[in-house]
Amino acid sequence: MRTSELYLVSCVNKKAPIPRKAKNLYISPWFGKAKAYVESTKQRWFILSAKYRLVEPNCRINPYEKSLNSMPIKERQEWAEDVFKNLRLHITDIETIYFLAGKRYREFLVPKLRDYDDVKICVPMEGLRIGEQLKWFNERTN
């Protein structure tokens, strides 16, 4: 029986200037709140990185300048395929995948996940603007 949850958090533009663990490389207020929230759930989580794809939070990575928002569609499709291939290894006991990520990070990945397995997809902040997202995190994080 599946009981676990998995959180996928998108990378952000603002990064530290030196290599760090991925969970500490992204330094925007939004990412800080997202990290605090997912860590408070005590569930497994990954970062969706435009450059490194699916990243374990404690994996050390270098700063980079790349965004899905500026990628052509074909490149975003390839990105989603790579992420999906890696993600399949981690979802055998997962009941629900929560996306804390914008449309570009979800557009080609969510359909692959829905077609692959009986996993629920949840986008709890869909449609919320950045200020509303920050408020959402604040209301749910100790």
Q: Which CATH superfamily is domain 4-140 in?
A: Uracil-DNA glycosylase-like (3.40.50.10630)
Q: Binning pLDDT at 50, 70 and 90, where does residue 118 land?
A: confident
Q: What percent of the chain has pLDDT over 70?
A: 97
Q: Is the pLDDT of residue 2 over 60?
A: no
Task: Among 42-46, 112-116, 128-132, name the one with the lowest average pLDDT.
Answer: 112-116
Write the CA distances from 6 to 13, 55, 83, 91, 121, integer angstroms.
Answer: 23, 13, 14, 8, 10
Each domain of the chain, given as residue ranges in start order, spans 4-140
Largest Cα–Cα separation, the chain: 43
| The pLDDT of residue 77 | 97
Residue 67 buriedness (CB in 10 A; 0-12 / 13-18 / 19+) = middle
Match 């100790």 to its residue by tokens. Answer: 142
Question: Looking at residue 3, what is its pLDDT?
Answer: 62
Residue identified by tokens 């970062």 is 47
- pTM for the model: 0.95
| Interval 45-65: pLDDT, tens | 999 999 999 999 999 999 999
